[in-house]
Amino acid sequence: MTVRHFLRTWLGAALCAGGAVSPAAFAQTDYPTRPISIVSPFAAGGTSDLVARLIAPKLSATLGKPVIVENRAGAAGNIGASFVARAKPDGHTLLLGNNVLVTNPATQPVPYDAERDFAPIALLGAIPIALAVHPSIPADTVADLVKIVKASPSKTFGYSSCGAGTAQHLAGEMLKNQAGIPLVHIAYKGCSLAIVDGISGQVPIMFNAISNLMPYAQSGQLKILAVASSARFSGDKRVQTMAEAGFKNFDAEVWFGLLAPAGTPPDVVARLQTAVTDAMNAPDVKAKLDSLYFETRVRDGAFFKTYLVDDLNKWKAVVKEARIEVTP
């Protein structure tokens, strides 16, 4: 029997048995067939870019094809995200996304649907967002800060964030709503600029990634009052959570995850999930991320999908309650 005759006979039997044969049954057995691109939707040097570059060589070694990192920055991450959302769903174009995938659509029109346009592969980890103050603010706890603000109704207290519509901004609005205090939001074009004015005392209250705050807390230039995460920060267990400070369901973090375009075959997603889990758990990768206050906690695509949708709905509710409007 020739190979052609065998295939024709097998295909005929399959059609009789099932009526049709899915293209995915043939197309993905040899994945990957060419280099894989991980799109970082931000400029080189940021955390998303760094995580992508740390895992790329590990993925390449596991999958047997080159894995390159491509920076497609702009529009607060929307350009890179929409590029991947429109890419061919074959597992060769991936997104190293973070929480802007949900904070952006919660605050402004975006060129993608966070719930429908992606196939989550794995949640990789997060950097907690924390509340910090300048030492000129005589507060050692969140309760102290709330009392100080409430005791001075004629004084304006501003808090800084990394930009309008960011998770840091929305965390500040959560505090305003839950504590009932009139904080004024001051948006900066980036986290570093907010830190500069924070350590100078110009804007003495801030929500920022704990990775940005820790060096200045350790030098005494800032005081971290609480982390906005469900558990205490692994890098400093002395810092309480916002929940422990009396603010329930107060969870704000900069998370990172790997995603593919919607429609990517499940077997490809599963292979990528296994590969990226191994990459994230590699001792050298984990050590580097630990030094950046990145909390590695890899979760599968199903968990990531639920997590992403829940996070989107949470921020939509905060935006609605605070009546936030962000101009793209």
Query: Scanning the structure block, which residue is given the tokens 């995915």?
Result: 24
Res 14: pLDDT: 42
For residues 145 and 151, give the distance between their C-alpha atoms in angstroms, rounded to a whole number.
Answer: 10
| Tens-digit pLDDT profile for residues 279-292 | 999 999 999 999 99
Residue showing tokens 């996304």? 97
Pair 132, 217: CB distance under 8 Å = yes
Q: What is the pLDDT of residue 326?
A: 83
pLDDT value for 243: 93
Tokens of 82: 């929409």
Compute the Cα dihedral for 83, 37, 40, 281 and give only its sign: positive
- Between CA 261 and CA 105, with CA 78 as vertex, the angle to 5 degrees is 90
Burial bucket for residue 129 (CB in 10 Å: 0-12, 13-18, 19+): buried
So what's the pLDDT on residue 29? Answer: 65
Beta-carbon contacts of residue 306 (< 8 Å; ≥ 6 apart): none
Instruction: Give the model confidence (pLDDT) of 10-60 as tens digits.
Output: 444 444 444 444 444 444 568 999 999 999 999 999 999 999 999 999 999
Q: Average per-residue pLDDT in the chain? A: 91
Q: What is the pLDDT along the chain (328 residues), one digit of tens a residue?
A: 444 444 444 444 444 444 444 444 444 568 999 999 999 999 999 999 999 999 999 999 999 999 999 999 999 999 999 999 999 999 999 999 999 999 999 999 999 999 999 999 999 999 999 999 999 999 999 999 999 999 998 999 999 999 999 999 999 999 999 999 999 999 999 999 999 999 999 999 999 999 999 999 999 999 999 999 888 988 888 999 999 999 988 999 999 999 999 999 999 999 999 999 999 999 999 999 999 999 999 999 999 999 999 999 999 999 999 888 887 6
DSSP assignment of 169-217, as one string? HHHHHHHHHHHT--EEEEE-SSHHHHHHHHHHTSS-EEEEEHHHHHHHH
Beta bridge partners of 67: 36
Tell me how far CA of residue 176 lies from CA of 140, 161, 197, 308, in angstroms.
Answer: 18, 14, 21, 24
